[in-house]
Amino acid sequence: MQTLIDQIQPLNAQALKSALERQDQLTKPPKSLGKLEALGVRLAGILGTEKPEIQNPVAIVCAGDHGVCEEGVSAFPASVTPLMVLNFLAEGAAVNAIARTVGAKVQVINAGVNADLPDHPALVNTPVRRGTRNLRKESALTREEAEKALLLGAEVATQAIQQGAGILVPGEMGIGNTTPAAAITARMLNLSPDLVTGRGTGISDEGLTHKVQVIKEALNRNQSHAEDPLGVLADLGGLEIAAMTGVMLAGAAHRVPVVIDGFIAGSAALIAAALSPLSRDYFFASHQSVEIGHVKQLSHLGLEPLLNLDMRLGEGTGGVLCVPILQAAASVLKNMATFAEAGIG
Ligand SMILES: O=C(O)c1ccc[n+]([C@@H]2O[C@H](COP(=O)([O-])O)[C@@H](O)[C@H]2O)c1
Ligand SMILES: Cc1cc2nc[nH]c2cc1C
């Protein structure tokens, strides 16, 4: 893991500078493309050229199950997780439908689903274990398991990049995973669980009170500290959260932009950014999730969401939806004429 972290370098300062200057030479009133301009400049810094281009988007949907489901923290049964993996493979899920509209490929990682899954070309089927332990009672994962899941995500992302992926969207599927995501967020940001715990798939008021209590008890076991992000990941868990963290770090290590989806992806990004503060420069936040803790994650990460469509699905749906916006931001720098070229002014 340390090798991966050490590979992450700052953005290319020269490319940032020339892209910034170029924005004002293009045939438009200065700053008239608003936030697209800063997005383009950052993409230039990531790709190391004032004329960036983004091709071959790939969504990597990481799936895992959660021992804490036995506490009744979700509106849906855990059995939905493997069924949704089959749905991704049959291209019937929301992420598939949205990916189709933007030309993105969807790959799935079984990081730790509690069921046997069939072999499929779009599935990396090497689970670290069959779901996490119940974080209310014990550490969800060992450090070794957390690191293994992280490295699995990193390996799949690295392979996708070697095969030409130009932008990565880590997505997730895991019934119960807003519980570990909220616990991680509370610990990493040192916030009370009631400020970062939401309704996930749609639990009742009573369910929400219970969920906050479960998270409080998990945090009160008091086994991990924000200064030890891998320890937090292991303690509070999520095999798919760990795998997503790996995808994010591998994107940054290979200078590939990474689109951060909703609240669960946000919790993985908190871990990634704590492991490597430089990695944040490679991240773009797609949308503002309805989950209440998401705003807090994004402000901590210094990321502004591109869309606010009241989404709270996960799977990488918001991330995939934002790919064309980022492609457009790059295309402006790459394909627009300058005033000099157009003979204007
Ligand atoms: O991405 C989000 O912001 C988001 C918010 C709420 C729920 N989800 C999805 O719903 C599942 C987790 O919800 P829950 O209630 O089972 O913890 C999981 O499969 C996520 O992909 C995702
Ligand atoms: C059906 C369903 C699809 C999902 N996709 C991501 N989380 C989900 C949760 C449920 C319940």
Q: Identify any residues that bridge with 105 across adjacent strands, giving them in sequence order.
A: 58
- Same domain for 175 and 284: yes
DSSP annotation of 280: G
pLDDT at 223 over 90: no
CATH of the domain at 190: 3.40.50.10210
Distance between CA atoms of 191 and 294, rounded to whole angstroms?
13
- Same domain for 323 and 258: yes
pLDDT, tens digit (0-9, with 9 covering 90-100), for 141-188: 999 999 999 999 999 999 999 999 999 999 999 999 999 999 999 999
- Same domain for 201 and 132: yes
pLDDT at 56 over 90: yes
Distance between CA atoms of 135 and 325, rounded to whole angstroms?
38
- Same domain for 131 and 84: yes
- The catalytic residue positions are 315
Ligand nearest to the CA of 309: 1
pLDDT reported for residue 256: 99
CATH of the domain at 32: 1.10.1610.10
- Same domain for 304 and 335: no
- Same domain for 157 and 209: yes
- Same domain for 128 and 231: yes
- Same domain for 141 and 282: yes
318 CA to middle of ligand 1, Å?
13
- Same domain for 316 and 222: yes
Domain span at 275: 57-328
- Same domain for 228 and 336: no
pLDDT at 198 over 90: yes
- Same domain for 9 and 128: no
Instruction: Place 313 in a pLDDT band, splitting at 50, 70 and 90.
Output: very high
pLDDT, tens digit (0-9, with 9 covering 90-100), for 22-31: 999 999 999 9
- Give one DSSP letter per residue of 7-48, joined into a string: T-----HHHHHHHHHHHTTBSS-TTTTTHHHHHHHHHHHHHT
pLDDT reported for residue 345: 81
Indicate whether this complex's ipTM tops 0.90.
yes
77 CA to middle of ligand 2, Å?
10
DSSP annotation of 338: B
Choosing from 98, 199, 201, 317 the residue with most ligand 1 atoms within 8 A of its CB, the one to mutate for a pocket test is 201
Ligand nearest to the CA of 69: 1
Please report, for residues 3, 59, 298, the alpha-carbon distance to residue 157 in angstroms, rounded to integers and kept in the order given. 15, 10, 23
| Residue ranges lining ligand 1, Cβ < 6 Å | 74-76, 172-179, 200-201, 261-264, 289, 291, 312-315
As to burial, measured by CB atoms within 10 angstroms (0-12 exposed, 13-18 middle, 19+ buried), residue 299 is exposed
- Same domain for 221 and 90: yes
pTM: 0.98
Q: How many domains does the chain have?
A: 2
